[in-house]
Structure 1
C-alpha cells in the first residue's frame, strides 16, 4: 500500500459531501414514506425489490454517519458535519453518534487486534462474530426507543408495512455493513499492518451495490479521510501503483 500515491485533503471536496448526504437522506425518507403507504401483496415481486432498495438506503444513512465521523461530510463546518452525523446515527436505530465515533477511531487505531472493538478474539465464523459485533454496538436503550417508535408509528401506518419496510431493512443493513465492512475485510491473516485489511476485486458497480465501495477496505484504512464516493478513485490508483 503506497500511501503517498494520493494527494488529497478533505477540504478539497467542497460541498460535495453535503450533496451526497442530502441525496441519501432524502431518498431514504421519500422511499420510506412511500413504502409505509404501499399496499403490500406478498406475491408481488416488487415488495421484495423495495425491501432491498430500502436496505441499501439504510446502509447509506449509516455510511453518511461514518463519513461524518471522519469529518468529510462537511469538512469546512465541523458543527454541521457532526450534526448530520448525529442525525444519521439516530435515524439508524437510534445509534449513539459519540459512541460510534469513539469506537470507530479505536477500530482504525487498532485494526483487527484485541484492542479493536469491531474484532472478535479468535477470529470465529460469521455468526459468532456478528453476534459479538451487535453486542458491542446495540444497547437496551436503543431497543426500547425502537419499540416505542414502532408503537407510535403503528397509529398511522399498517403493521406489516412497518415491519417490511422499516424494521427488516434496518436489520438487513446491519448484516450488509458487518459482512462487507468488517467480516470480509478483516477476517483471517493480513500482511499490511497496521491496517490489517483487504479489498475486494475491482468492480465499481458491485462495490457500490454491496456497501457503498467499502469493499475497497484497505484503501479506506490507508486514507480514512476519503469519503465513500472517492474510494473507487483510490482503488484505481492503488492498482495502478502496484502494476
Structure 2
C-alpha cells in the first residue's frame, strides 16, 4: 500500500493549534463549572445530553495532550507546547504527560506488535483489550489523586453532579478514545506496515463526533506531525 504525498509542515500551523487548544480547554472548564452547579433531575433529558457533551470535551482535552506529545499544539514554542500538554494530561484524571509521551512514541515505533504498549497480542475482544490498555496507563497515584480531589470538590458541589459530570465523562471518554483510536484501527490483520493501522470511511461529521478525526488513523500514523484538525485533509488525499 503506497502512501500519497501530503504536503504540510508543523511550522505552517502558526497559532492555530493554540486557538484549538484554548477552545477545547475553555469549553471543557466552562461546561464543568456550569454542570457542577446544575440542578440535576434524572427526568430531564438535558442531563444525559450534557453528560455526553462533557464526555466529548474530555476526549478533546486528551487529544490536545496527544497533539502536544507530537509537538503540534505550539510547534514554534516547545516550552509552551509542553506546558499545555502537561496541563491537559493532568486535567484528564491526573495522567503523567511524560509517561504518556514515552508510551505513545513506542506505539508509533512498534504499532500493533508485541512491543506496542497499546496493543494486546492475540487479537482479543474489546473488553479484554480495554482492560489491558487501562493497566498500561492507570496508576495508583492517579486513583489516589482522583479520590482526594473528589473529596475536596464535594465540599462545594453535590456528589451526584461530581459523579455524573466529572467522573463518569472521564471514564466514558476512555472508552471513546480506546474504541475509535486504538481498537478499531489496530485490531485484526494489516497490510500497511509499519503503521499497521486502518481508517474509517471518509465522513467528517461522524469522524469528528466519534473521536476528533482519529478514526482517520492510518493517516495519523503516516503523518504523526498532523494536528487532529488537519487529519480530514490527509484522509481526503488518501481515500
Assess if the C-alpha contact under 8 Å between 2:86 and 2:96 holds in 1.
yes
Which residue is 1:46 aligned to?
Answer: 46
Assess if the C-alpha contact under 8 Å between 2:204 and 2:232 holds in 1.
yes
Which residue is 2:117 aligned to?
Answer: 117
User: 1:5: Cα distance to partner?
Assistant: 1.4
Which residue is 1:127 aligned to?
Answer: 127
**TM-score scaled by length of structure 2:** 0.99
Assess if the C-alpha contact under 8 Å between 1:3 and 1:223 holds in 2.
no
Unaligned 5+ segments in structure 2 are: none
Kindly report structure 1 stretches of 4+ aligned residues shifted beyond 3 Å: 1-4
1:74 maps onto 2:82 in alignment = no
SS of residue paired to 2:114: coil
Which residue is 1:24 aligned to?
Answer: 24
Q: Distance in 1 between matches of 2:4 and 2:193?
A: 16
Unaligned 5+ segments in structure 1 are: none
User: 1:3: Cα distance to partner?
Assistant: 3.7
Assess if the C-alpha contact under 8 Å between 2:17 and 2:74 holds in 1.
yes
Superposition map of 1:143-222 within 5 A: 143-222=143-222
Q: CA RMSD in A?
A: 0.7
Assess if the C-alpha contact under 8 Å between 1:219 and 1:231 holds in 2.
yes
Which residue is 2:233 aligned to?
Answer: 233
User: 1:23: Cα distance to partner?
Assistant: 0.2
SS of residue paired to 1:5: coil
Which deviates more, 185-194 or 5-14?
5-14
Q: Distance in 1 between matches of 2:70 and 2:187?
A: 23
SS of residue paired to 1:202: coil
User: 1:4: Cα distance to partner?
Assistant: 4.8
CA deviations on 1:120-157 (whole Å, 9 max, x unpaired) are 11110000000000000000100000000000000000
